[in-house]
Amino acid sequence: MVAHVLVDDVVVDEPSNAGPLVGFVVSKAVGNSVQRNRVKRRLRETVRPLLDPRGQLSLPVRAHIVLRALPASSTATPEQLRADVQGALARALQRVATG
């Protein structure tokens, strides 16, 4: 799993922009369309609890996050996928904080 994070400093007063935005990239290298869609559904369910402000990772409110699934994501268990997502997000947030 690879995560890219961009923190936007522009303040917009729209309620639809009240939290982090997350997008998913699942290429054909992951598998056929059925496998790619399954990976996207599993990623959505994995990320949903992480978006909670009281969660383990404190995601910036104005963050734009892109998660890119690697081919191993199609065979990963939910626990492995959760650990991969958390690790990738932690590394990406650390890069944002230091750079």
The pTM of this model reads 0.83
Any residues with CB less than 8 A from the CB of 52 and at least 6 apart, and which? none
pLDDT mean for each 10 residues of the chain (99 residues):
83 61 94 96 91 69 90 94 93 85
Give the CATH fold of the 2-8+18-98 domain: Ribosomal Protein S5; domain 2 (3.30.230)
Q: How far apart are CA 52 and CA 89, in angstroms?
A: 14
- Rounded Cα distance between 31 and 29, Å, is 5
pLDDT of 38: 96
pLDDT of amino acid 96: 84
